[in-house]
Amino acid sequence: MDVEKMDENEWKYHGEGNQSLVVSHCQRCVVLRFLKSPPNQNKTPEEILHHLQNIVDFGKHVMKQFFGENYVHHGEIIQLPLDFVRQLCLKIQPERPECRCDKDMDTLSGYAMCLPNLTRLQPFRLAEHRPILCIEIKPKCGFIPFSSHVSQEIKHKVCRYCMHQHLKVANGKWKRPSKYCPLDLFSGNKQRMHFALKSLLQEAQNNLKIFKNGELIYGCKDDQDCVSDWNELARHLKPFFFPSNGLVSGPHCTRTIVKELIHVITMALLSSTDTCRAGDMKTVPISQGRSYCEASAFNKELVRNGKHKLESSGLPRGCLLYKTLQAQMLDMLDIEGLYPLYSRVEQYLDEFPEESTLQIDGPYNEVFYEKLLDLSLEDDGTVAFALTKVQQYRIAMTAKDCSIMIALSPCLQDECSEQRPVVLTSKSRFIFSVSVLDLDLKPYESIPHQYKLDGEIVNYYLKNVQAKEDPVMSNLFKENEDCTLVLHKV
């Protein structure tokens, strides 16, 4: 990229999170990511560069080891002309959601990260203007806590996502709770996965977005602005799935196209296209934790139909969902078991404020990564043990909040070689790539907030949801329970 010939008119607003803002190039498959900060709290150029370098190093030396070379795109740091950055900031400001404007884009350092645009990423050199469909899924936490430190039994039965939905609705974040349950998606059982994906499509919230040629066609730009018309979605998708078919329009057509989309997403999620260093690291046997959530709409439907056996086929070891789940399960203690260890580290830092050997915020290198592989739960009372568990928890929280990007491009049969991953539908075939996004390490400082939020979520659910549900319901969810007929004398 020739940074000396940058033109702000070639770039457009792409999106933003709490810490950064992203713009995408109108023709090329690249994005620029700029840090943000509150007004009048600007960091020095050196601080900005250090922050960005930490992000790159963490992706390159840590998360790439967990997920694999092909799945993680850590990008590179570039320095841009300040005049270009200022003009770009003015150009995109009207497009920014009001709820994100509490922080300003960095226009003083000139530093940014250059990354591939994963909504348009075309993994193979085909026709220059081949259409690209991209599905972004934020799957959230895919397991029930198995830690003995959990104080409320409900946390061993209902997943965090399903409980949190009710608090979010009560706080006005969403209008209605979603039927999506992460444990259904992570089950590996295609019927459960299909139900989970259909639920995401019905109530996308901020967990699902669909892009066509880099443009958002389905999902929420922010918490308020959502595009969720299935008929409109089907109109966009029909050329991909039925390119030369005279399928009639209407509800039947829409349902058929959505069904094809769900099939493609499922097959891409279960595909194995990469290896990684941590791929054989078994944080905990999947069977040790409960494989279903009592609040799942899928499970409740089974119970209503008299079926008590919930299938969990298991995920292929090489697929991205499996790797994501393994990283998530580095949270072996739950926040309730982790918080006392965080307090131990805090106490040490209070006593030795100049201590710099703990590596709380980098450098993110081979030494940092190797420490994460210590899965021992025997607390020897040291700060070293506490810090290892804290860092593993931060990795787990990062994996719980990452996004999976599935890019699809139609291909003809003679264009699809054995080296290219392909997924078939009834009328089409697609080459595809799967990537993982949003892998910034969760802040050390956010742990007290997570501890407080966990209590709020559980207490609200116990008081306002579980107390109102039929108490008989939970007895129907006992997994693998044999039914025994007991005869009593009359």
Share of the chain above pLDDT 70, in %: 83
Write down how long the chain is: 490
352-397, pLDDT tens digit by residue?
A: 888 777 889 889 999 999 999 999 999 999 999 999 999 999 999 9
Contact 254, 234 (CB under 8 A): yes
Q: Which two tokens stand for residue 250?
A: 């209407």
Rg (CA), the chain: 24
pLDDT at 6 over 60: yes
pLDDT at 149 over 90: yes
* pLDDT band, very low/low/confident/very high, at 487 (cuts 50, 70, 90): very low
pLDDT at 145 over 60: yes
Q: For residues 78 and 83, what is the distance between their CA atoms, to the nearest angstrom?
A: 15
Which of 229-238, 256-265, 285-294, 435-444 comes out lowest in average pLDDT?
Answer: 285-294
Q: State residue 429's pLDDT score.
A: 86
Q: Which two tokens stand for residue 421?
A: 């991953």
pLDDT at 272 over 90: no
pLDDT at 125 over 90: no
Average pLDDT over residues 20-42: 91
Q: For residues 170 and 161, what is the distance between their CA atoms, to the nearest angstrom?
A: 14
Contact 435, 168 (CB under 8 A): no
Contact 276, 323 (CB under 8 A): yes
Name the residue with higher pLDDT: 468 or 286. 468
* pLDDT band, very low/low/confident/very high, at 210 (cuts 50, 70, 90): very high
Q: State the angle between helix axes of 383-400 and 334-351 in degrees (0 to 180), rounded to the nearest 10.
A: 130
Q: State residue 252's pLDDT score.
A: 63
Average pLDDT over residues 186-202: 95
The amino acid present at 259, given as its one-letter code, is: K
In 10 A of CB 252, how many CB atoms?
A: 10
Instruction: Give the full edge-to-edge strand order of the sheet including 422-424.
Output: 226-227, 215-220, 208-212, 133-137, 403-410, 429-437, 422-424
Assess whether the previous peptide bond of 94 is cis (omega < 30° from 0). Answer: no
Q: State residue 486's pLDDT score.
A: 36
Give which of 62, 159, 94 is closest to 370, Cα–Cα: 62
47-92, pLDDT tens digit by residue?
A: 999 999 999 999 999 999 999 988 999 999 999 999 999 999 999 9
Contact 262, 198 (CB under 8 A): yes
431-447, pLDDT tens digit by residue?
A: 888 999 999 999 999 99
H/E run at residue 14: strand 11-16
Q: pTM here? A: 0.89
In 10 A of CB 124, how many CB atoms?
A: 15
Q: State residue 99's pLDDT score.
A: 85
The amino acid present at 42, given as its one-letter code, is: N
**In the CATH scheme, what is the code of domain 8-117?**
3.30.200.110
The amino acid present at 18, given as its one-letter code, is: N
Percent helix, strand and coil across the chain, each rounded to 5?
A: 45, 15, 45
* pLDDT band, very low/low/confident/very high, at 481 (cuts 50, 70, 90): very low
Taking the domains of the chain in order of start, what are their residue ranges?
8-117, 134-463
Contact 108, 116 (CB under 8 A): no
Give which of 394, 377, 370, 270 is closest to 320, Cα–Cα: 270
Q: Supply φ then ψ for residue 334, to 5 degrees.
A: 65, 160
Query: Mean pLDDT for the chain?
Result: 86
Q: Which two tokens stand for residue 243?
A: 């390119």
Using CA atoms, how far residue 367 sits from 62, 277, 303, 379, 392, in Å, is 10, 14, 49, 21, 14
